[in-house]
Amino acid sequence: MVNLERTYDMALEGFGDALALKDADSEAHCKRVTAFSISIARALHLPPKDIRIMARGAFLHDIGKLAIPDTIIRKPGQLDLEEVTIMREHPYHGYQMVKKIPFLQDASEIVYTHHERYDGTGYPRGLRGEQIPFGARIVAVANTFDSITSNLPYRKSRSLTAAREEIERWARRQFDPEIVRSFLAIPDNAWADMRKEIDSGIAAFATR
């Protein structure tokens, strides 16, 4: 069983390496989103099995960007309407890549639905509320939190406080309010420590 789990881990690392070759910032983003998602899931007292599935989905949530043209992925400014439409295809592409792998079938649903919104205005299918897998609703909060607090090609990072306030403001519309409550209960220093640990680990590995 231990060897099988290690094989799973190596497969996930391979996916992560492939995405990192396309977009250097994606490795750190995916690792942070995974760590943030696990912290929220633990605060919600999810069973370990559900957390493992969600963590795999969190790590692979952007894998569909492998199918998106580099000119869009690396564009140093806001995307135009046509480019946004293409970018919004990445959850579907990721789902198609992952769903045929037996140990990732459940995680593939999280990849597919991490941009759905609680009020039904998300994409790609316009799911709402409990139609969206619970793990995907957690990843949506973690993904947004990391995006707000990270430097992006078209804007600079914002503070942890600003990110928390924005996520709280979008509860019941973009995010599941139960998940937002658990997210807000986690102190700022916990998020800062996780980010520092992940980013320093990646930087140390890169200099070997």
**For residue 76, how many C-alpha atoms fall within 13 Å in the half-sphere facing its CB?**
0
**C-alpha to C-alpha distance for 119 and 174, rounded to whole angstroms:** 6
The CA distance from 182 to 180, in Å, is 5
Q: What's the CA gap between 70 and 122, in Å, rounded?
A: 24
**Domain, as residue range, for 24:** 2-206
Alpha carbon 80 to its chain's center: 23
Say what the pLDDT of residue 2 is.
45
Q: How confident is the model at residue 6 (pLDDT cuts 50, 70, 90)?
A: low
pLDDT digit string (tens) for 161-205? Answer: 999 999 999 999 999 999 999 999 999 999 999 998 887 776 444
Q: What is the CATH number of the domain that holds 31?
A: 1.10.3210.10
In this model, does residue 23 exceed pLDDT 80?
Answer: no
Tell me which residue has tokens 């139609």. Answer: 131
Number of domains within the chain? 1
How far is Cα 42 from Cα 46, in angstroms, rounded to an integer? 6
For residue 118, pLDDT beyond 90? yes
What secondary structure, in 3-state letters, does the chain show?
CHHHHHHHHHHHHHHHHHHHHHCCCHHHHHHHHHHHHHHHHHHCCCCHHHHHHHHHHHHCCCHHHHHCCHHHHCCCCCCCHHHHHHHCCHHHHHHHHHCCCHHHHHHHHHHHHCCCCCCCCCCCCCCCHHHCCHHHHHHHHHHHHHHHCCCECCECCCCHHHHHHHHHHCECCCECHHHHHHHHCCCHHHHHHHHHHHHHHHHHHHCC
Residue 66 has, within 13 A of its CA and on its CB side, a CA count of 19
pLDDT interval class at 207 (50, 70, 90): very low
Rounded to whole angstroms, how far apart are CA atoms 176 and 70? 33
Structure tokens belonging to residue 165 = 């306030």
pLDDT at position 19 is 77
Query: Do you find a cis peptide bond into 91, omega within 30 degrees of 0?
Result: no
Q: Which residue has the tokens 């709402």?
A: 128
